[in-house]
A and B are shown apart, each in its own frame.
Chain A
Amino acid sequence: MEKSFANLTITNHGIDRRGFLKGVGATGALLLTANWSWSQEQQKKYGGEGMPGGTKNDPKLFIAISQDGTVYITCARSEMGQGIRTSLALVVADEMEADWEKCRVVQAEGDEERYGNQNTDGSRSMRHWYEPMRQCGAVARAMLEQAASRGWGVDHEDVRATKHSVVFPRGRRRAGFGELAEAVARLPVPMGSAIRLKRSNEFRYIGKEQTLSADGEDIVSGKATYGADLRSVGMVYAVVSRPPVFGSKATSYDADAAMNVKGVIKVMEIEGTVVPSEFKPLGGIAVVAENTWAAMKGREALKVEWSDSPNDQYESQHYRRQMEEVAKKRGKEIRAHGDLEDAFAKAKKKHAATYYLPHVAHAPMEPPAATALLKDDFLEVWAPTQAPQAARTHAAERAGLPLEKTRVNVTLLGGGFGRKSKADFINEAVEVAKAFPGKAARVQWTREDDLRHDYLHTVSIEHLEASLSSRGKVTGWLHRSVAPTIMSIFAPDQRNQAAFESNMGHGNVPFAIPNLRIENPGIDAHTRIGWFRSVSNIPHGFAAQSFVSELAAEAGKDHLRFYLDLLGEDREIDPRSMNDGWNHGENPETYPVDTGRLRKVIETAAKEAGWGKRMRKRRGLGLAAHYSFVSYVATVLDVEVKKGGELVIHKATMAIDCGPQINPDRIRSQMEGSCIMGIGLATTGEISFDKGAPKQSNFHDYQVPRIPQAPKEIAVHLVDPGKEVELGGVGEPGVPPVAPALCNAIHAATGKRIRSLPIGEQLT
């Protein structure tokens, strides 16, 4: 193996060799003074403790100090651009008084029994790991102080850790962390002793406006390792020809022409999985070669016959009409109160609108790629995965090996957005590796593979009706959402949205409306549906936020005032009172839906964007605000629609209240990125089907924003909740308000309502 392999396995062996914090006790043995309740005491587990594997706060798992003073901090969550390797590490560094410049981040392998939950999705890495990482750092700091004070024969209380050293001010003594490394390794667990967490005014990194990055220099110099960057002598490269239609499989294939391509070594079948296929591969024919190009050429020459599929007739226009029909009838009731029929009957005015949002593909810049090596009954995998433990379980099963003989090394992810939670591509690499024992095997997806075999964002029809009183108040609200569910990849006959989909802005709208009914008529899925950054919040939020704007116009009121009025009095809503027993997995007592916080982000974004100012002709401001992933985000876009239909976004103003702000720079960057992604899915994002297969294949027909389409300015405002609240999500909640804000701005600029995404050519 070449060096790059060794770099990635440093986690295991490296820590043990350095082994400096050996002996620090198991989770639960530490007595901490922080105001932090052990959730084991609660009947139902929430947050990080409610996740498989829970959380860990054992410093020996996460911190190693070398004698040269370098502090190695292990990150067990996957890095896909959200900055989590930096953000979690800076929490540890801050609490232990380490100097960031002397810290290195080590990536944990997939092992949830050891590291706790590693599933990097749901905007919850910081939310669930902030406190455990602080505790890790604080215990390490206490142990360093103890090691120093013992060495000097002075009281622990008289020494303190500061900037990578422990000092004894009275004796003018100082010992660097490196000097203390060996002594601290011999210390027993501080069982029963109180570990003090820092007060917020003592933070050096947490909450500070500064740009830190664990990986920045490696990234810009080409040294960072992604899924396809592992190399070893004699390794083989494969691409896979997969069924064009979901549910189809290879009935026969002719490998001769492929084998004639120079460099092709083998053509082999990869067994598929019967539908529902969850995260398992679709099956197909792999072409294995000496390099990626030869494999790609071999695949072009390969002839494969595919079986019929029950999804052969999947066609997007037809499916849209089908959804529209379904949306005309009552469906499964998600939530209801009051008497909607009565409200509609007595309404001064009624308004209805139907919105369409197509499938979109994640299209991370790094197409799926994984490398596997099966040698001496041990399987090692290198993969850009959001779900390292699931990848490991899958890999072990495929290889017929026990978990302990399977290691999954997590590389950097070249974007994830939910796509890389699925292990299908990792399974494929394992299958190829099984055919080449002793050799590393890479499976590389092309962009065409990525767009044609994604776990797509759902497609939906959102139908809304509302009644207005003579004073322009909303008296009744009906929202029917029709969309194939993610559950369809896990079980047959799944036609309704799961609680984790419905309570993404459909059932849990926090509006003060006396009569309300939320419905979900069912529909079958005909392709693989998956989590796409912010998931069902996208269609639900787009529809609700567009409709609020429409209702404001119907009522002859200013959108901002109308929306604030719709929210009603500031109040904390128990999610259970909205029939939401899911609540993003968080405790409903500590995570209510707080309309005051939503109001504040709306007011902030509106004020900063100059809401109400006079706008030039063909220019308008559009507002939307959405609660998701237990955070609150409002967006105002300043948009110009030029004659001929060209769309220019002059400025985006985004305000987020995500509770305590741990790494403000990365919160800002996530809002900036969410803005671009939201603009993309609003303007051009669409995967459409014909004869069961996606029509789009690469970036020429699946267009994503490029730099000219980016707003001239994105102003991000981090809003202080103004009270003690828990941490909210950051990676996803910025996306949902962008598309409706854009379409509301287009309406303000032109009077035209966009009810069908993408906007495409509708402005020309």
Chain B
Amino acid sequence: MRTIRLNGEEHRLDAPDDMPLLWAIRDILGFTGTKFGCGMGLCGACTMHMDGQPIRSCVTPISATEGREITTIEAISKDSVGEKVQQAWVKVGVPQCGYCQCGQVMSATALLSRKSSPKDSEIDEAMSGNICRCGTYSRIRKAIHTASADLKGGT
């Protein structure tokens, strides 16, 4: 048995060292908001935060999370930036199929947490690891600017 800190709570689970965090959280702990897209850290659908930094949970072994704080989409609304990002996503109508969007929201939250007013080029750089096959990219840029403005406006 091992312990992980997930969304502010301790969870005990039985999983081998090499099991990716994604599968431990989805299959064993039962939080399914984080998605599987490629298994190689190429698409970003599985993005979570580890100590506030975006990580690809499909290639992060659970053994690497010891003593770290993991945050998933299920708890990102408790983060003031995350909440604004989620609201902006809905307001701008970003999602199409929506499958990649939890990962997009996690990456965008991490970006805005370290840079409150990113330029398009900075958005492109920070978000380039997150594929959206529906092609919602122009709205993702717009929603990040919207969330950025909302954060500054304090609304």
Contacts and interface: CB of A to CB of B under 8 A. Distances in A.
Mutual binders A and B: yes
Interface of A: 2, 4, 79-83, 211, 213, 215-217, 219-226, 228-229, 231, 237, 262, 291-293, 296, 363-367, 412-417, 444, 446-448, 665, 669, 672-677, 698-700, 704-708, 710-714
B40 A698 contact: yes
A700 B35 CA distance: 19
Contacts of A698: 38-40, 42
A707 B98 contact: no
A221 B39 CA distance: 22
Nearest to A235: B27
Interface centre among B38, B120, B135, B136 (most CB of A within 10 A): B135
Given A444-B36, A699-B131, 14 more contacts: A82-B96, A216-B93, A216-B95, A220-B85, A221-B77, A224-B98, A229-B32, A262-B16, A292-B26, A366-B99, A367-B36, A417-B133, A672-B135, A672-B138
A669 B32 contact: no
10 contacts: A213-B90, A215-B95, A228-B26, A292-B27, A293-B24, A365-B97, A365-B99, A412-B98, A669-B93, A712-B120
A259 to B, nearest CB: 16
A366 B35 contact: yes
Contacts, number: 187
Nearest to A226: B99
Interface string B73-107: 11011000000011001111111111111100100
A710 B138 contact: yes
Contact of A676 (B34, B76, B135): B135
Interface centre among A82, A366, A677 (most CB of B within 10 A): A366
Contact of B92 (A80, A211, A365): A211
Given A222-B74, A293-B19, A672-B135, A81 B97 contact: yes
**What range describes how many residues of B lie at the interface?**
35 or more
A228 B46 CA distance: 13
A120 to B, nearest CB: 12
Contact of B36 (A4, A228, A674, A705): A228
B136 A672 contact: yes
Contacts of A710: 135, 137-138
Interface centre among A216, A417, A712, A714 (most CB of B within 10 A): A216
B131 A213 contact: no
Contacts of B73: 220-222
Contacts of A417: 133
B101 to A, nearest CB: 5
A704 B105 CA distance: 20
B135 A222 contact: no
B139 A669 contact: yes
Contacts of B99: 226, 364-366, 412, 414-415
B118 interface: no
Contact of A365 (B20, B26, B132): B132
Given A220-B90, A231-B30, A705 B97 contact: no
A237 B137 contact: no
A365 B131 contact: yes
Given A221-B74, A262-B16, A292-B23, A707 B93 contact: no
Contacts of A444: 36
Contact of A707 (B37, B95, B124): B124
B5 interface: no
B19 to A, nearest CB: 5
